[in-house]
Every structure is written in C-alpha cells, then in structure tokens.
Amino acid sequence: MSAQPRQPAGVHTGGESRSHARGESGVDRGVATPAGIPAHGSESLPWVSSSGRRAEIGEYSASIPPLIADLRLPSSAETLELARQAEVEIGVLERTYAGQVATLEPFLLRTEAIASSRIEEELTTVDQLARAQYGIRAPKTARTVKGAIDGLNLLVHRAADGVDLQDILAAHVPLMADDPEERWDAGKLRSVQNWIGGSNRSPRGAVHVPPAPERVPELMADLIAFMRRTDIDPVVQAAVAHAQFESIHPFTDGNGRVGRSLINALWRYRGVTREMAVPVASAIVADRDFYFQLVNDYRQGEVEPFAGFLADAASRATAEATVSAERLIALPHQWAERIRPRAGSAAAALLPLLPRHPIVDAGDVARLTGASQARAYATVERLVEADVLRPITQSRRDMAWAAGEVLDEADLMVDRLRFP
C-alpha cells in the first residue's frame, strides 16, 4: 500500500466494464442500463510517479460514479419481497429480545465488526480483541477491530436523525487510530488517487480506480442526500448506499468497514432497527468473493442482484443472531447448574451479569457483586476451575478474565453461517 501526492498519484487500498457515452475532454459520463440505473462513467487523467522514476503508464482511467441523490430506483417484486421479509425478521428479533438489549447489543456490534474485518482479512482472536477492548496490550489487528467496533457503534447511534458527513468521518477515526501509516489521514477525505487491486506503483491493472479526489466531496454530499431519502425500500437503499460508497472510496484505507457500517446506520435511520445492529457482515464473509463481484457489478448499473444478496444476508444473519441470543440467555443457568453457587454468594451474583460484562478483573468482580477484593479473587478462581472464566492475560500485573462461551459465540455464529 503506497500513498503519493496528488498530481495525480496514488494510494493502493487493496482488497475489495461499463457502458459509456463519450463526452468532451476525455470524460465518459456513462449511460443508463435498461433498468434505468446509470453505469459508472470514466475520465482519462495523466499519471505522474511520485518516485521520480519513469512512470510505467502515462495516463490512467478513473471512474465517475453517477449522482444518485434523486435517482429513481425501480425494483422487481421479487427483490422487494426479499427485502421486506428481511425487515420483518429483523423486527421480530428486536421485539423478541428487547429485554436483553444490554446483553445482545454489544455482542452483535462485536460480531459485526469482527466479521467485517475478516472480509478485509484483518484477523484476530476473540481473546486478543477482549484485551484491546479492555485497554490491555493487544496486537495491532485486535486494536483495529476494536476501532471498527467503536466506529460502528458511533455511526449507528448517531444515525437516528440521519447520517451526515461528520458522522462518517468520526467513525473513520477510531478505525485508523492505531495504524502508523494511515492514522494521519483518519477522519479525512482522501486528497490522493487510490485504486483497488493491481500493483502498488500505479493503477495499471487495477480492478477499480475510484474517482479523482477532486470529485469526492461532491459525490459524498450526493450520497448523504441519497441516504436521507425515505421513499426507497431500506434494504435496496442500503445496498445502493454501500456500493456507491465503495465506488467513491473516500478514504485512503478503511473504506470497506466504514461502508458496511453505513448499512446498519441507514437501517437505524429508517427505523428497521431501534436498539440492535444486524450482524450482516457475518453472512457476507461466508460469500466474500461473490460479495466483491456484486459490488463490482454495481458499477455496471446492476443494483438488484446486490440488493437481493443483502436481503438474504440480513435474513440469514438474523436467524443465527436468534440462535446466539438464546444461547447467551441460557448461559447463566447452565453455569449455575455446573458450579451450584451458594445463594447470596459472589459467584451467584456474578453469573447472571457475565453475558453483559464478559470481560472482568478482580476489581470489576468486587464492584459488580459487592464482595471484598479477596472474595472477588476467590470467586474468579472458582469460575476459572469450572471453565466459566478464562484468563486473557499472562502478566500477573494486569490480570483479566473473560467468559469464554460469551466471546466464542461470535466465532460460532460466523461458522454457522459459513457452514450451514
């Protein structure tokens, strides 16, 4: 991944054919597909290498996504039925477990951020992530996933009145905060050209070359206006908003994770959810290559395949979130059957709280149960012996423990979606 000053130059972000009408000055504006969705246009721009060496290309072609704020989005009855079914299932999940929001919301946010990061091949373990969330020394990937959780949480909770650009920029900050190269651009729209695929030296052979940085502010303002509409089915709207964001690629890095966060933010604005996030990335990661292909197809003007995919992913994720919710609710009873705590003991007081507070140190146990520090340590030791808690640190200086079955449920949910 390389960043170069705009003249124009590039940043290779990695990871993640058009029908055109040629305009003036090498600008190709794109034409509408039969469904009425414009394909991306393009423009030819000169390429200047920042290294001072002879450039391997003299010019490159950057895409020009269509403006969509007022775009009419025809949808088939089949796509709308899939979307509405997903919305109903999400509503049932929320209503059924409304009393468990304090337990389920952090779990679903954690699961969504882990899966979204896996799509970008940012891999960490649940214990490493637990350390990062608790403020204990953890690997960079774990800190990045923790930043993804913080960004998703911020964006979704600010979205009730609609997402604006400042919310998106603010969500990008924690995601990039621990990246030694990218943190300087955290929370800022890119000022350099970037591209997806190909080499680090130039856009030659890239899968997608997003629009020139000068076009990004206008395109983002247009996207924000589109996301504030209320005349489009929320699932179709989220599919278009996400794919358009990925086409714009407004940041030097972190576009995929912020873009997927927009799905839940938009659903919160449209009232599809009120208290919980939908771990839709948990279903997407099982079909990662197909997902990337559908996002690429959007640039050709294909909207419905991705909208249908998103609806199906939301339905599958909601079904597995229901399974996880039941498992999490049942855990305290299962633990109590396992260790038979004495009534009124610190262990009896702590077990029902662990799904909501799955990461604790001795001070937390004392605070949550009212026990002394010595009794808190004794309680922890007993729960470790019963495999209710497990240590997530090795140092005796900053000892912390986690309810392993709570943390592991995120991985189990993703595995159920990957191997149904």
The per-residue pLDDT for 15 is 40
Residue-range domains of the chain with CATH:
77-189+212-322 (1.10.3290.10), 340-410 (1.10.10.10)
Note the pLDDT tens digit of each residue in 153-182. Answer: 999 999 999 999 999 999 999 999 888 888
The per-residue pLDDT for 389 is 97
Burial of 102 (0-12, 13-18, 19+ CB in 10 A): exposed
CA distance 228 to 238: 11
Show the 3-state SS of the chain: CCECCCCCCEEECCCCCCCCCECHHHEECCCECCCCCECCEEEEEECCCCCCCCCCCCEEEEEECCCCCCCCCCCCHHHHHHHHHHHHHHHHHHHHCHHHHHHHHHHHHHHHHHHHHHHCCCCCCHHHHHHHHHCCCCCHHHHHHHHHHHHHHHHHHHHHHCCCHHHHHHHHHHHHCCCCCCHHHCCCCCCCEEEECCCCCCCCCCCECCCCHHHHHHHHHHHHHHHCCCCCCHHHHHHHHHHHHHHHCCCCCCHHHHHHHHHHHHHHHCCCCCCCCCCHHHHHHHHHHHHHHHHHHHCCCCCHHHHHHHHHHHHHHHHHHHHHHHHHHHHHHHHHHHHCCCCCCHHHHHHHHCCCCCEECHHHHHHHHCCCHHHHHHHHHHHHHCCCEEECCCCCCCCCEEEHHHHHHHHHHHHHHHCC
- Radius of gyration, alpha carbons of the chain: 23
The per-residue pLDDT for 25 is 40
Q: Are 240 and 91 within 8 A, CB to CB?
A: no
* pLDDT string in tens for the chain (420-residue length): 333 333 333 333 344 322 222 233 455 545 444 445 799 999 999 988 776 666 678 899 999 999 999 999 889 999 999 999 999 999 999 999 989 999 999 999 999 999 999 999 988 999 999 999 999 989 999 999 999 999 999 999 999 999 999 999 999 999 998 888 888 899 999 999 999 988 888 888 899 999 999 999 999 999 999 999 999 999 999 999 999 999 999 999 999 999 999 999 999 999 999 999 999 999 999 899 999 999 999 999 999 999 999 999 999 999 999 999 999 999 999 999 999 999 999 999 999 999 999 999 999 999 999 999 999 999 999 999 999 999 998 777 779 999 999 999 999 999 999 877
Report the residue count for the chain. 420
Q: Which two tokens stand for residue 315?
A: 């339905």
Its pTM stands at: 0.89
Half-sphere exposure of 140 (CA within 13 A, CB side): 9
The per-residue pLDDT for 52 is 61
In Å, how far from its chain's centre is CA 312? Answer: 17
The per-residue pLDDT for 32 is 46
The per-residue pLDDT for 246 is 97
The per-residue pLDDT for 27 is 56
